[in-house]
Structure 1
Amino acid sequence: MQFDIGKEIGRGGFGFVYEAKGDDGGTYALKKLNPAAFPKQDHPMLIKRFEREVRYQQLVDHPNVVPVVGVNLDDDPPWFVMPLAEGSLKDDLEADHTLGGDPKKPLFDILAGLEALHQIGLRHRDLKPANVLKLPQEDGSTVYAISDFGLTTPGAGQTSTLTGSNMAGGTPLYRPPECANNFRRATEQADIYSFGAILHDIFSGAVRIPHSELTVAGPLAPIVDKCTKAHPRRRYTSIVALREELFEVLDNTVVEFFSREEEDVIAILKANDDLSDEEWDRAFNLIDNNADKGVSNSNIMRALTLSHIQSIFDSSPDMFQGLGELYAEYAANGTFDFDYCDVISDKADVFFRLGDLSLKAKIALAMLELGTSHNRWVVERQFMRMAGHECEPALAERMKIEILAGEYPFARRMHHIEQSIDVTPDRLHPTLQELLE
């Protein structure tokens, strides 16, 4: 695609951003390196960093990471093109730091984008509101997506020599203390610190000291505290763990209990990560009684945490399998908030990793149903990972059996995925491709 450069719309780091018109009639944002602003001896390093920014950004195919739609690294100076944003999270926070009292959309979009980076071994290292862009969608909605990969670095075991070992980087108000003097110390937990600083922006709005441990008033305090611990090992170990706790606090769903026993069991689940055998027996008795009466077990499924799922696997693998099948049914047949779909998929992933072939197949198909029925790209991509070429042949065969035995509309669901996340059927395991012929 060819682009005609228009007015300057921003600058930062080592580049200018211009509005550009594509020969397809669309309007884009073109980022061009500006080496003239730096000493000549630094130009080779700047060009390499710019090229690295483009290549890392191209590596991540995810709706919550700004895509690269055009590039010319051989031009002088080099440039690349992204969709034109309608603003940033920084703009939103300057207008109202509480984001209207409902910040779930940008927060969970950011977490999804960070998770995509971390899954391929990258750390952003400069996460801040100005680097979270608002991209308009065809249906009129807005997606928040992470941009500006100029400081992105490979994970442990990979190499990058462009940032000196004693060179700081990033933005002080969002930079973790371990990176104040040595940016090579950044891990995934550095991005989690920056996310905690964004939480502080929203739920406090108070002036803060760079590189410090942060807190806020109210129920978000434990989460902000843990995100911004001075020692990285004391922060959340993963985006999955952070997302679960954040959703629990921000969720305003009013639970209507079906019985006093259900209220008591859910209170036990909320109070303990590791239940005793007697407590698990009580929970399963309630699940069975609800099933006999035709009462939904959705409240119990919602109360399950990642720790509960691991705990029941460790203490009773047979009960784990049964609980996993119930969770697959819950995920496939329920109607959920958009952001809660990600939380469900995190828990389903534990059942998938630890379950037998039968449970893996049920969980994978539940993710297909959840993703397509809610048009949740993250979950649809999760299904493709479960059912792609790396899927074990025995599992693919078991999924095929489940699809045929249950007369599942597999071809229709896959057609939706093709349109939704732009994947072709040849990404499926060959055994599952047969069902589309």
Structure 2
Amino acid sequence: MSSESFSAFSANHIRAPLIAFALFITVSGLAGIKLVIGAPLHWALALTAILAWALFRAEPLLNTVVAPFAGLVSRAPEWLLFWGAWVCFCLGILIAGWVNGGAGVYTVPKYLALMGVLWLLVSFVPKTEELVSGLYLLAAVGGVGFLIVWLGGFSDWLELPPKRYGWALLPPGVLWKAGVFLIPPLCWVLLNRRYPSKRQWSFFFLACALVGLDGSRTAALLAAMIWLLFSVLVCCRFGLSNAPVKRALIIAVWMLVLIGGINPSPWNPVIHVYSVLGELVPNYPGSGTEAGNGLIQPGRELGGDSIRTAMLIEGVRGVQEHFLLGSGFGTTVAQTESMDSPMVVHMTYLQVLADTGLLGFLGYMGIFLVPLWYFFLAMRRANDSWSLFDENALPLGIVGIYMFSSLLHPISNEISEWAVVLPALAMLFKATERFESASRS
């Protein structure tokens, strides 16, 4: 083999896991696929991509996959707590189902499959570049796909409930997830670097635009909170100098224009600009635009929601009645006159406690709190905690978004909802382990 051929082979071998991981994130994130091809095939495609990623990695497959057993055999507390949380969660579902005629037991195989995916991720540990590339690809597919469907006149592929936008593979309620997970790491980079790259700015714009198109109140609130938190942290790091304050204000303006402007709300001062641009895009029934004059209607308010209130009441009632053993996964539902059928409570923590009981709830919370706890312990002991934070802004942002959005959304057992957060959990857990190993050496 010539040197040129060997170089090309090496380059392809290096790119192969990155491509496979990007496909895993993208295929999983396109939640609407399961409505087209069915959930089993959607799972099969996602699992094939993550297995390909593991096979393409340079590490030997068998030895690397078996390696995490060492932490369990040695009874290291962090390993026992990390996996014990998943076991408790699944046991909670099983016990709740056992005392309630098998309700919700069907979901345990899916969570076991998710544990298998996490085991692979902990064994090989995704690189930041791989996860970022996956999120970039998902955002690009989401944005470009929507433009093609919208401007190409493929109205059958559009999903346009009142004042929200989406398309078949990323409908409203899902489209925002193709962008929101990029906002924390990109916002952090843009705040800290004097000269961010054009790619970082471009994908930040795209991420904000996807959140704006979706019209998700949860995502809009998350974006505002991320900007505020990171702006405060940057000021703590560098002080109230002109550069970080100026960068924070520039980012705030762009977020206001892109998130609040594309699907505008009355509190947004740029709403009047978009009434002029409304003439330039096609109008579809239910798109939230007024036919004839191009005026884009205000988006949904962040305020009151009677359905959510009903869900919270039912969630609290479910906790009161089934606190200890649970009522069965997916059984805590709410029904109002404006709803065609009962809907699961859109508040994960109440739902999990009511559905799976105390054991399942403690397990679910441990899934996220164990890696976060050990990571922040590592930050307290680190000589340069800011560098450790810089390296892990991506997984920290993902876990933070997932935990906050759980206040306003139900739990899911689908790969589309877990594909982004599982790599983040693995990266945080292994970052802590690497730090501990370095500090002991």
Question: Is TM-score (shorter-chain normalized) higher than 0.5?
Answer: no
Higher strand proportion (structure 1 or 2): 1
Structure having the higher helix fraction is 2
TM-score, normalisation: structure 2: 0.24
Larger RCO: Structure 1 or Structure 2 (Cα < 8 Å, ≥ 6 residues apart)?
A: 2
